[in-house]
Amino acid sequence: MSDLHSPSRPKRKKVWVDYFIQFRWIVVIFVVLPISFTLYFLTYLGDVRSSMKSYSRRQWEHKENVKKVVNRLKQRKPKKDGLVCTARKPYIAVGMRNVDYKRARHFEVDLSSFRNILEIDKERMIAKVEPLVNMGQITRATVPMNLALAVVAELDDLTVGGLINGYGMEGSSHIYGLFSDTVVAMEVVLADGRVVRVTKDNEYSDLFYGIPWSQGTLGLLVSAEIKLIPIKEYLKLTYWPVRGNLKEIAQAYADSFAPRDGDPAKIPDFVEGMIFNPTEAVLMVGNYASKEEAKKKGNVINNVGWWFKPWFYQHAERALKKGEFVEYIPTREYYHRHTRSLYWEGKLILPFGDQWWFRWCLGWMMPPKVSLLKATQGEAIRNYYHDHHVVQDVLVPLYKVGDCLEYLHRIMEAQCCLLTQALENGENLHKV
């Protein structure tokens, strides 16, 4: 790769939007963060209130809300009203995609009431939840039981419905696959008002395989049954610095969870990699550990969830100077390790957000809600991000990861987070 270090494109001249972006932190600190914190707190109170409802009450509310959806769909006149979509505002979605289709003629259906955990079945190891249940809500309910979803997306605000209709991947995906691969059954309302239970082996199996990645175009998801796994209180995490070219980094990453001798005992519960420049990366492998193991003399416990702690990706980067090290992280805090910094996007939004004085004084208000960031950015900034800022997941076969990294670096300077998904045929897909 002779052009590996060559610039991908000449620098462009600054325009007025660049200065809005540069000083956007003023709006974020004085408007977005206080409102975000208030909304997070109110959402938490709503989650607590939901958890206090009896099983029969939650089931009754769910049936009533489904009836409302069915009745709403019966009011639709297909030739006049256009396509069906949710009434959720486009800016609420956690993602960079412009949801322009909602600007066209459409028929809205309100699903905002579907935010309850309906059942945690310890015998079947299934969690039945509504689509607006988010990752923070479900880990608060399951982790104290030493249970968790097989795949837990890192950001608190990501919802079950979004992860199924889109796709979700995490550090455990090399074992369990995509988030949608852990779904056992779905309750879906079709455009004609029929309510169907969808599984992989019933008459609606085509929907079971079609709904993931469909972006909600095939039906309205109103509940899902998702696989649970047993967990322990802590995660033992090992940080490994890796140096070499991008293909060597990719090979080291593959070796970290796919041992060449095929020994299943060497496959970790979690694996993640971060590439900080074309020649340096940090790989992290984790295994569940009991409270007794974590608290043994000499072990280091890192409560990464505290507001004043360094942002996780910056903490991981220390391995490049410090060398290999091991620490124990409370399991739920590990699940949401990237929430406060929004991966590394927080640095672009608040350039000084990672500084110790900001973390101690205002870090408790982090993160800003993505929906509020999008709602306050305006059309010009929205288009600016669309044209000049890339946040992109790329799924490629594991053996192609090195080539993919070199290609991405050639066309843009990419900072990457590495995750892997196991496929049923024994191969792997890799998310860059």
Distance (Å) of CA 24 to CA 92, 117, 256, 360, 385: 19, 37, 40, 21, 13
Q: Could you tell me the domains of the chain? A: 55-230 (3.30.465.10), 234-431 (no CATH)
pLDDT in tens, 293-326: 999 999 999 999 999 999 999 999 999 999 999 9
Distance of CA 211 to the CA centre of its chain: 18
Could you report the per-residue pLDDT of 68-116, keeping only the tens digit for each? 999 999 988 887 877 888 877 766 666 656 555 555 657 888 899 999 9
Instruction: Say whether pLDDT at 3 is over 60.
Output: no
- Asked if 184 contacts 227 with a C-beta cutoff of 8 angstroms, the reply is yes
What is the pLDDT at residue 431?
52
Please tell me the distance from the alpha carbon of residue 314 to that of residue 355, in angstroms, as a whole number. Answer: 11
Supply the pLDDT for residue 30.
Answer: 93
- pLDDT averaged over every residue in the chain: 86
What's the predicted TM-score (pTM) here? 0.88
- How far apart CA 337 and CA 327 sit, in angstroms, is 14
- Cα–Cα distance measured from residue 299 to residue 237, given in angstroms and rounded to the nearest whole number: 11
pLDDT band at 332 (very low <50, low <70, confident <90, very high): very high
SS (H, E, C) the chain: CCCCCCCCCCCCCCCHHHHHHHCCHHHHHHHHHHHHHHHHHHHHHHHHHHHCCCHHHHHHHHHHHHHHHHHHHHCCCHHHHCEEEECCCHHHCCCCCCCHHHHCCEEEECCCCCCCEEEEECCCCEEEECCCCEHHHHHHHHHHHCEEECCCCCCCCCEHHHHHHCCCCCCCHHHHCCHHHHEEEEEEECCCCCEEEECCCCCCHHHHHHCCCCCCCCCEEEEEEEEEEECCCEEEEEEEEEECCHHHHHHHHHHHHCCCCCCHHHCCCEEEEEEEECCEEEEEEEEEECHHHHCCCCCCECCCCCCCCCCHHHHHHCHHHHCCEEEEEEHHHHHCCCCCCCCCHHHHHCCCCCCHHHHHHHHHHCCCCHHHHHHCCHHHHHHHHHHHCCCCCCEEEHHHHHHHHHHHHHHCCCCEEEEEEECCCCCEEEEC
User: First-to-last CA distance in the chain?
Assistant: 19
pLDDT at 13 over 90: no
Who wins on pLDDT, 71 or 259? 71
Q: How many CB atoms lie within 10 A of CB 19?
A: 10
Q: What are the backbone dihedrals phi and psi of residue 134, each rounded to the nearest 5 degrees, phi first?
A: -100, 175
Give residue-wise pLDDT tens across range 163-173: 998 878 888 99
pLDDT at 375: 79
Average pLDDT over every residue of 120-148: 96
pLDDT of residue 208: 95
C-alpha span between 387 and 382 (Å, rounded): 9
| 418 pLDDT more than 60 | no
User: What would the mean pLDDT of 235-252 be, rounded to a whole number?
Assistant: 95
